Amino acid sequence: MSDILVTAGLVVILAIVLAGPFLVRRIEENLEAFLFACGIAAVTIAGFASIEGIPTGWSWGIVWEALTMPVFVVSILGIPVGIVQIVLVVGFLIYLGYRPLEQGIQRAVDTIPMGPLAFLLVVALALLSSVISAIIAAILLIEFLCALPLAKEPKTRLAVVACFAIGLGAALTPLGEPLSTIAVSKLSGPPYYAGFGFLAGLLGIYLLPGILAFGILAFFEVRKVKGTGEPLFCKVDRGTPRGILLRAARVYLFITALVLLGEGFKPLIIQYVVGIPADGLYWVNMVSAVLDNATLTAAEIGPYLSILQIKAALMGLLVSGGMLIPGNIPNIIAAGKLGITSREWGRVGVPLGFLAMAIYFVVLFFPSYLL
């Protein structure tokens, strides 16, 4: 198979991966299995590429990485820990301690003024998401939001702001969300040798001020609210053991699929993405507003990019991922449980995301423009 056919085949798969969940509802409902099948196809086609000195396609190494990455990000006291175990353990802790947790949330709502509570809620969940995962942080967010005496509109605005912050915070470690897990996995070899603290060192200086800024925004959003108004419709339940196990299994399959997609798209990264300037990558990744940012990470990030390109690509994905519901896992969970429509989310998320993108662009690139 010629390199032209390989490229064409991978582009077709990429288009299917990006458009499929939007066009076919059944694909959206079974996203993990769909991405897994596409990953197998991409790695198979990539095996026909001829890139001098760079192996592509199937190998025992990529199979082992795909199988172990979801469950082995770091070793703690000799025990392998990954995002799957975090989702399982914290999920069962919430299940077993549901009533005390609910009572504690209600006490916090009753005793802490609304402004400081909103600030603490957003900042704390954003930081915790890097350890307990963005999925669990979003579930806890819903618990708090349902206890807040706010009308639908201000509660929706607070949910959007909080999900922006959680999306940033979860990227600080590979335990936080699939995006960070995949990014560290793909950069774990030369020349970056990314480890557990790689993303915190690379992006922390940008992410932490952003989290604080969203916390301050949440503070002022609720302080200007008067009265309780209409309660926001929400469905909060403790879950079931079967549901917790199923959620962990879907996370496992999702990350495995992303590992395969990342390996399969390696020829495209080397031939095309490497040549895009960092500032171009930053704005191109605004498509993360409508496409899952973990999938885009698998398609773009690789050791062949410069550190500035990696930084720009990830920041573009992280910031724009909060603009619309499909962009990030916390958005999807919060919107589904709280009954927030796409229009309601976009009314808040799009202008806020554009503002954050513009600010981060200046921070990231303006100093280099002056040199």
Domain boundary assignment for the chain: 3-370
Residue 104: predicted pLDDT: 84
Residues 141/98, Cβ–Cβ less than 8 Å = no
**Token digits for 190?**
């030369």
pLDDT tops 90 at residue 272: no
- Chain centroid to Cα 274, Å, comes to 23
Per-residue burial over 1-24, b = 16 or more CB atoms within 10 Å of its CB, e = otherwise = eeeeebbebbeebbebbbebbeee
Q: What is the pTM of this model?
A: 0.86
Residues 19/58, Cβ–Cβ less than 8 Å = no
pLDDT tops 60 at residue 231: no
Residue 29: predicted pLDDT: 82
Residue 235: predicted pLDDT: 43
Please state whether beta strands 74-76 and 79-81 pair in parallel, antiparallel, or not at all (unpaired).
antiparallel
More confident residue, 170 or 226: 170
Separation CA 268–CA 263 (nearest Å): 10
Cβ count near 169 (within 10 Å): 30
Outline where DSSP puts E strands in 239-358.
none
**Percentage of residues of the chain with pLDDT beyond 70:** 94
User: pLDDT tens-digit profile of 191-228?
Assistant: 999 999 999 999 999 999 999 999 999 999 887 665 44
Half-sphere exposure at residue 233, Cβ-oriented, CA atoms within 13 angstroms: 5
| Partners of 281 in beta bridges | none
